[in-house]
Structure 1
Amino acid sequence: MAADISEQPEVYAGLIDNGMSEISAVAAAIAERRPRSIVFTARGTSDHAALYGAYLSEIRLGIPAGLASPSVVTVFDARPDWKDSLVIAVSQSGGSPDLAAVVKAARESGAMTLAITNNPNSPLAAEAEFHIDVRAGHERAVAATKTYTAELLALFLLFEGIRTGDGKLEGTETGLLSKLPELASDVLTHSTAPDLAGRYRFAERFVTTGRGYAYPTARETALKLMETSYLPSLAFSGADLLHGPLAMADPGVPVLAVVGSGPGGKAMHDVLGRLENQRADIVIVGSYDLQGQTARMATPDIDERIASMLDILPLQQLALHLALQRGENPDAPRGLKKVTETV
């Protein structure tokens, strides 16, 4: 897992240098056909990448987006009408039968279909009309790290390419991406995750939170803590946290709050104030400082779309070091395997 995490700057650089033309061609083809809605299907970690994609779709393109439940097709044998929609399946392995079944049903109903995987020879890639290879290379650990962030970058490139219409990025986005590998390397090098892991070695549960593009980061962090350290971890959007779950906040429940400087981060300020009033143990992830915070895991002050690819890095390291501090093996969590096949 440590090796997989450390390779993410290299994966970013590789996808930008070698995958742009493929993604640009797919984006241009989709833009030409003007889908009226976008539907994602995914499981596990890839579901969180899909949620990030849904935010991109609605914020950047103004196209309604949602996440399909594969069981609608595979368990209940229903066939929704996805005509005029773009159905995107996101999967590291591309090997889960339920996702392939959704793509097959969507294609039969007249939808455009796209698979985003780390395996161009997978059944899912073969089932879809279009495919994007995230080019993350072999991932050693069961817990997904570099494949997740590669999916985020691929989705960013895809949606910004659709937005321009010709698949190419605008100058602002190109400039942001040029800094990404170096920024990722700096975040990993200067992470305070080992120290925080020592502090929270005996924690019994965690809460993670964020809004907008940061919400998928909160959800992915909770999953990593559960699958590597077996720590019950609850992820909430900042808004949902105020609708009841805030009541459980106290000094004994660490809260990992992802807070950037854009609209999503600013929308978290009231949430943080409420948490502070309840004397919660708050760790800020990002560039924002809260007077009552316990600690901050510093990440760059950058556009929230790109921040999602950086904020998760020290949180992956935190999950890794917490598992080691607690005597667990983060590379091989009990009961799990790398490819999960669900129907």
Structure 2
Amino acid sequence: MSATSSAVQHGQGEQPGRIMSGEMAEQPAMLRRILQRGAPGIREVAAGIAAKKPRFVLLTARGSSDNAALYAKYLLEIRLGLPCGLASMSTTTAYGARPDLTDVLMITVSQSGGSPDLVASTKAARAAGAITLAVTNNPDSSLAAVSEHSIDILAGPEKALPATKTYTASLLALHLFVDGLAGGDGEAAAGALPGLAEQILSRRDEVRSLASRYRFAERMVITSRGYGYPTAKEAALKLMETSYIPALSYSGADLLHGPLAMVDNISPVIAVVPDGRGGDALQPVLDRLRGRGADLFVVGPQVQVDAASAGFALPTAGVPEELQPILEILPLQMLAYEVTIARGQDPDAPRALAKVTETH
């Protein structure tokens, strides 16, 4: 998008990134809203689906919602032992496949609920016997209409093209849903999240200083394991769609199977280090990266940040590992924003993108 068209879209003289910045700042209030207003309805939906005893879960999504769906996959497999798969929508929409989905739970995650392939694949899944659930920021959307059940993530209107608050809203809604399937009380465990999110978002000057290190980066590698892996994928997407820096995301295990060869002391590596088993599993990867002299940026516990080239320490003490992704992504959203501003670009208006992507 040209500078002229960007100015027309946002108004002459408006600060670049104003919309994205404002929506990032809304996240603590949004998390409180979900816990206070959304949780009872989510728990009711979960109870209704649990009574149907699904034997398998298929997750369907695109973009940031796809990363939220991957987070749900970890939750469902770890918390409930339910086997999960990420659906290949083209098998239905392009090839016309009609699998037997009796007793399968199909969860479709979409902030807009308007992408034609998501709507079509959900409709086909329901016709094939699936229990269908829409997780969306638009309860009046086509996706919600064709689904048997729906959850409103209550993020409020999101106008910036890069998804920020709808991503964290999806994570919290999915956590509450899975916890509801397990018969738990997810609100209690998540109660500290809004206040911790406020703490993280208040450290914007710290992130701005860190962003200056990466203003001229030509590529980045982002890695994690376990619950942190969806965060790595979402951070890579945010960097690519706002700053246009090629950002490659890998599971730490996959990084060792070949891609480690491209790591040097020039291209930064961002490691999302969960405070828990995922971080323990990532430790051998961190050791290998340091051994190669990587410019290692860590988002995680203070002890891990101290051992890296740079980083952002997270206040995760006492926060269950499964909830940490809601906090992990916040400094990385800010990093993508600040790097983009430092490069003289407008994160509100990434070139060639639209808020609703109509894939078929």
Aligned to 1:338: 355
What's the TM-score once normalised by structure 2's chain length? 0.92
Deviation of 1:289 after TM superposition, in Å, equals 2.7
Superposition pairs of residues 241-256 of structure 1, within 5 angstroms: 241-256=255-270
Superposition pairs of residues 143-292 of structure 1, within 5 angstroms: 143-164=162-183, 169-170=184-185, 173-191=186-204, 192-290=206-304, 292=307
CA distance in 2, matches of 1:310, 1:255: 19
Superposition pairs of residues 1-343 of structure 1, within 5 angstroms: 1-164=20-183, 169-170=184-185, 173-191=186-204, 192-290=206-304, 292-301=307-316, 302-343=319-360
Secondary structure in structure 2 of the residue aligned to 1:268: helix
CA distance in 1, matches of 2:78, 2:327: 20
Q: Deviations over 1:234-279 (max 9, x none)?
A: 0000100010111111111111101022111110100000000000
List runs of 5+ in structure 1 lacking aligned partners.
Answer: none
Amino acid at match of 1:218: A
Q: Deviations over 1:139-196 (max 9, x none)?
A: 12000000000000000000000001xxxx33xx433211110000001112422111
Amino acid at match of 1:278: R
Q: Deviations over 1:96-154 (max 9, x none)?
A: 01011111111111110000000011000000000000000011200000000000000
Q: Between the two proteins, what is the percent identity of the paired residues?
A: 54
CA distance in 1, matches of 2:201, 2:233: 20
What's the TM-score once normalised by structure 1's chain length? 0.96
Q: Give runs of ≥4 in structure 1 deviating > 4 Å.
A: none
Deviation of 1:321 after TM superposition, in Å, equals 0.6
Deviation of 1:82 after TM superposition, in Å, equals 1.2
Q: How many residues align?
A: 337
Amino acid at match of 1:226: M
Secondary structure in structure 1 of the residue aligned to 2:191: helix
Give yes or no for contact 1:260–1:288 (8 Å, CA) kept in 2: no
Deviation of 1:288 after TM superposition, in Å, equals 4.8
Amino acid at match of 1:329: D
CA distance in 1, matches of 2:29, 2:137: 15
Q: Deviations over 1:40-83 (max 9, x none)?
A: 00000100000000000100000000100111111111112111
Deviation of 1:24 after TM superposition, in Å, equals 0.7
Give yes or no for contact 2:35–2:187 (8 Å, CA) kept in 1: no
Aligned to 2:17: none
RMSD: 1.0
CA distance in 1, matches of 2:237, 2:101: 30
Aligned to 2:10: none
